[in-house]
Amino acid sequence: MVDVLVCQQGDLKDGDVRIVAKGELEVGIYRHAGKYFAYQNRCFHQGGPVCEGVIIPKVEDVLAPDRTLLGQRFNEDEMHIVCPWHGYEYKLETGECAADKKLKLRRYEVIERDGGVYVAL
C-alpha cells in the first residue's frame, strides 16, 4: 500500500469530494461532518463513476397512523451519494447501498499527517 496525497488539511470543506487515481484505480475522498470517507469510484450496478454523483439527504416517506402516504421529507442525518448514471444511492458514512445492504462500496483508509490528507491505496 502507498499513501497518496489528497490535499492539504483544510482544503476540503464539509460536502466536498476529491477524486484521486493510482493506475486504473480511482477513489473518491469525501469530507462530511468533520470526518473523511474514501470509496472506490465504481458503482455496483454497471460500474459507473459513483463518486462523481451528487450528495443528497435520504428521502423518507411520511405516513399517517393508518399507513397512508402523506408525503416525503429529507433526513439530513443520513446523507447519500447518488450514482450519476442510473441513481443507485449509497450511504456516505458507510458506503452501503441504500436499496441493498449486501452491496458496499470498497472503503479506503484516510490518514491526516504533517498537514496533509492521504489515502492508503
The set of cell numbers assigned to 44 is: 455496483
- Within the chain, where are the H helices? none
Report the distance separating Cα 8 and Cα 2, nearest Å: 17
The set of cell numbers assigned to 117 is: 490528507
Our CB check for ligand FES shows the closer of 73 and 101 to be 101
Residue identified by cell 458503482 is 43
The span of 3-11, 28-36, 65-73, 80-88 binding ligand FES (CB under 6 A) equals 80-88
Least distance in angstroms from the C-beta of 70 to ligand FES:
29
The set of cell numbers assigned to 33 is: 461532518
Q: In the set 15, 19, 21, 46, which binds ligand FES (CB under 6 A)?
A: 46
The span of 11-19, 59-67, 78-86, 103-111 binding ligand FES (CB under 6 A) equals 78-86
Touching ligand FES, residues 3-22 (CB under 6 A): none
Q: Which amino acid is present at 11? A: D
